[in-house]
Structure 1
Amino acid sequence: MARVNADAWIPEEYDSEVITRVNQNSVVEALANRKNMGSDVIEVPRMGAVSVNSVAKGATYVDSEPTLDVVTLTTRKFGNTFTIAEEDLDDTLADTITGYQNEWATSYARRLDNAAIACTGTENGGTIPFTSLYKAAGSGQKVATAGVVTYAKLSEVFGVYEGGDFANDADTVVMAHQTFKSAFRGILDDNKRPIFVEGLAGTPSTLFGVPVQFSYGLKLSATATDTPTGTIGAVGTAGNPILVVGNRQHLLLGVRGGPESKMGEEFRSDEAILKVRARRGFGIARTTAFGILEVTAGS
């Protein structure tokens, strides 16, 4: 007697937890000097260097005239909507809303990092929200390494930063594209000790004893993107991964609102709309407070 196949009538079982990519933390969100913004534009005061004179007994003091100016942070909005059938919300065990929120947060982290640090284009307020650190920094702040990340090149870019006027051990941080991590693991100092130590149990990873954080957004692109791609090429080519060492106090992140989400309803079509957004401004106080290492083509 033939058995009736009823497999099509047996529902598949799904876990209620949506599988998502790891919710990556933005290096800019984590490390930058945060400025609360009560309006769409904020001007952060900046003072130039003050010189000190020796004064002989009975001599007249000399006025010091530092340059006083501002760094302007302008709010840019990052956001998306997701239209979801109400049946999908009601009939599934999966936490659909949290899944979308987590995925958006991951992409937002990468796009913000790319826009603030690694975008090569000229700021236009839209596809290029900010003037990035890479765009603003002069050639004297950049070091190129052809294909291979070496001890000598890492030491050189640290030297660029440490040779400037704004190096400060307490505020020094390293930000790097994820691909640098594998390169770091194979580099030893002259005493055969690793220069890179991966963090454990919540402690940060370190490079030359300096805290280091990684981001997929730190790869060059012409416009801001959460998926920077391209083949490694000459200096400035989209796809080149970069490392930044510098004084975190000179990365200015204006916080106007979010990340935040809001649910709405499309009454005529039985659909729910999830809106997710963040409003941020960004600027560099001093480009000479940073050194940039860029991986280019070569062997």
Structure 2
Amino acid sequence: MARNTMEAWIPEEWETSRVVQSITQISAVEALSARITMGSDTKHVPRTAGMDVAVVAKGGTYGEDTSLNDEVLLSAIKFGKAVRLAEEDIDDSVANVIEAKMIGWGKSYAKLIDNASLAVSAASNGTTVPFTSLYQLLNTTDATLSYTGGTNITTAASTGAPTYGEFSTAIGSVETGDYFDPGNMVAIAHPAFRKSLRGVVDGQSRPIFLQGTAGTPDTIFDVPIRWSLGAKLAATATSAPTGRPLMAFVNPELMLLGVRSGPESVFIDGRDGLSALTDESILKMRARRGWAYGHPNGASILVG
């Protein structure tokens, strides 16, 4: 990102920005989700419990579907940070210190948005817990959607590697539901699972985990895996979670990412206003996002 002394928010170019590239490489949520453009702080997105179908006799009356129609609410939350930069560091450095800071922010943001969306184990409060995470959604009973909290969460019984049966049970929670779509299913997992997966085999000693080659992803039970450093349990949203690792089996079409603005930055020149006394400029970075998962019966989680 080139130095800019205009005090206006400059959006990162989605196709070419190195900041955006680093975000989509690290964040499963940013890379896979259905992106919902938000023109205001909140947006209601339709959600359906499906629609039935039946045979209609020639000349017969069409039956009417009674499936639930409702919506999910996306609320834009701001993720940001500011950094002070000495003029000497900006002017004397061969490296682009501003772009380096932006890329560093992007990597932390990528882990934070994944953690907030997937793995926070508390109810949303709009600040330290910005969204209802997938884990919290699956841990909460919703009678209107005929879902009982914890049904689609499998927790490994041992402190060692999860067993074949636990991996199978976790993915089976989605495979037996109405929202199973074999062509779209993706596993989002913390890299801590990689080591344990290498030793897991089925009853015929066949590995359930296959490492991909150039251009092909790793897979588990033939489902592609997207690795995420944010996929660890945490009490509040963080870019450095330390809880138990998660593997989530999801349908990306149900991952709803509200995009209000950003990633974007503003550079405030140190020669303007009171900051001129310090020979320091300020770089601010932010992104505004909302998040929701479309239906609890369309996902499952294995807690490692």
Q: TM-score range by the shorter chain?
A: 0.7 to 0.9
Runs of 4+ off more than 6 Å = none
Q: What is the identity, as a one-letter code, of the residue corresponding to 1:228?
A: P
**Alignment-derived partner of residue 149 in structure 1:** 162
| Matches for 1:216-235 after TM superposition, within 5 Å | 216-229=229-242
* Aligned with 2:283 (options 252, 268, 274): 274
| Matches for 1:116-135 after TM superposition, within 5 Å | 116-135=117-136
* Aligned with 1:171 (options 175, 184, 193): 184
| Matches for 1:108-257 after TM superposition, within 5 Å | 108-137=109-138, 138-146=149-157, 147=159, 148-229=161-242, 239-257=243-261
**Alignment-derived partner of residue 53 in structure 2:** 52
Query: How far 1:292 sits from its partner (Å)?
Result: 0.6
Aligned-partner SS, 2:215: coil
Q: Distance in 2 between matches of 1:91 and 1:26?
A: 33
Q: Distance in 2 between matches of 1:213 and 1:49?
A: 27
Query: How far 1:152 sits from its partner (Å)?
Result: 1.3
Q: Distance in 1 between matches of 2:80 and 2:185?
A: 31
Q: Distance in 2 between matches of 1:160 and 1:222?
A: 25
Query: How far 1:56 sits from its partner (Å)?
Result: 5.0
1:151 touches 1:187 (CA, 8 Å); kept in 2? yes
Aligned-partner SS, 1:171: coil
Aligned-partner SS, 1:266: coil
Larger radius of gyration: 1
Structure 2: stretches of 5+ with no match in the other structure: 1-21, 139-148
1:167 touches 1:246 (CA, 8 Å); kept in 2? no
Aligned-partner SS, 2:156: strand
Query: How far 1:249 sits from its partner (Å)?
Result: 1.0
Q: Distance in 1 between matches of 2:219 and 2:233?
A: 23
Q: Distance in 2 between matches of 1:212 and 1:219?
A: 16
**Alignment-derived partner of residue 18 in structure 2:** none
Query: How far 1:53 sits from its partner (Å)?
Result: 3.8
- How high is the TM-score relative to the length of structure 2? 0.82
- Mean CA deviation greater in 179-188 or 76-85: 179-188
- How high is the TM-score relative to the length of structure 1? 0.83
**Alignment-derived partner of residue 291 in structure 1:** 300
- Mean CA deviation greater in 241-250 or 50-59: 50-59
Q: What is the identity, as a one-letter code, of the residue corresponding to 1:144?
A: T
Aligned residues: 265
